[in-house]
Amino acid sequence: MRGITAFSAVAALWLASAGTGIAASSLTVLCGVDEMWCAAMKTAYEAKTGVEISVTRKSTGDILNQIRAEKAAPTVDVWWGGTGDTHLQAGSENLLEPYQPAHERDMLPWAQNFFAMSGGRSAGIYAGALGFAYNADLLRELKLPAPTCWKDLTDIAYRGRIQSGNPNSSGTAFTTLATLVQLFGEDEAFRYLAALNHNIERYTPSGSAPIKAAARGETLIGISFMHDAVTQKQAGFPLVIVAPCEGTGYEIGAVSIVKGARNIEEAKRFVDFALSPEGQGTGAASGQNQVPSNAKSGLPLAAPDISMIKMVDYDFATFGSPEERSRLLRRFDAEIAATN
Q: Which residues bind ligand PLP (CB under 6 A)?
A: 32-34, 59-60, 81-83, 128, 165, 170-172, 206-208, 225, 227-228, 251, 253, 290
Tell me which amino acid residue 59 is: S
Helices 322-335 & 84-92, crossing angle to 10 degrees? 120
User: Backbone phi, then psi, for 266, in 5-degree steps?
Assistant: -65, -35
Query: Could you count the other beta carbons within 10 Å of the beta carbon of residue 198?
Result: 14
Q: Least CB distance from residue 192 to ligand PLP, whole Å?
A: 20
Q: DSSP letters along 258-299, please?
A: ETT-TTHHHHHHHHHHHHSHHHHHHHHHTT--PEESBTTSPP
- From the CB of 251, what's the least distance to ligand PLP, in Å? 5
Cβ 325 to ligand PLP, closest distance in Å?
13
For the beta carbon of residue 22, count every other beta carbon within 10 angstroms.
12
CB of residue 80 to ligand PLP, shortest distance in Å: 10
Between residues 77 and 251, which has the closer beta carbon with respect to ligand PLP?
251
SS3 label, residue 218: coil
Question: Whole-number minimum distance, CB 34 to ligand PLP, in Å?
Answer: 5
Give 175 or 263: the residue with its C-beta nearer to ligand PLP: 175
Comparing every residue's Cβ against ligand PLP, the nearest one is 207
**Least distance (Å) between residue 119 CB and ligand PLP:** 21
Q: How far is the CB of 246 from ligand PLP (least distance, A)?
A: 22
Closer residue to ligand PLP (CB): 74 or 171: 171
Residue 83 has a CB neighbour count (10 Å cut-off) of 31
Look at residue 65 and give its three-state secondary structure: helix
* DSSP string across 108-131: -HHHHHHHHHTTSSEEEEEEEEEE
What amino acid occupies position 75?
T
**Closer residue to ligand PLP, CB minimum distance, 267 or 303:** 303
Nearest Cα neighbor of 41 from 271, 235, 258 is 271
- Our CB check for ligand PLP shows the closer of 87 and 103 to be 87
Q: Nearest 10 degrees: CA dihedral of 78, 59, 274, 111?
A: -110
Q: Closer CB to ligand PLP, residue 170 or residue 280?
A: 170
Nearer of residues 82 and 91 to ligand PLP, judged by Cβ:
82
Residue length of the chain = 340
Closer to ligand PLP by Cβ: residue 83 or 122: 83
> Residue 232 is inside which H or E element, if any?
helix 226-234
Minimum gap (Å) between residue 247 Cβ and ligand PLP:
19
Of residues 212, 256, 207, 284, the one with CA closest to residue 41 = 284
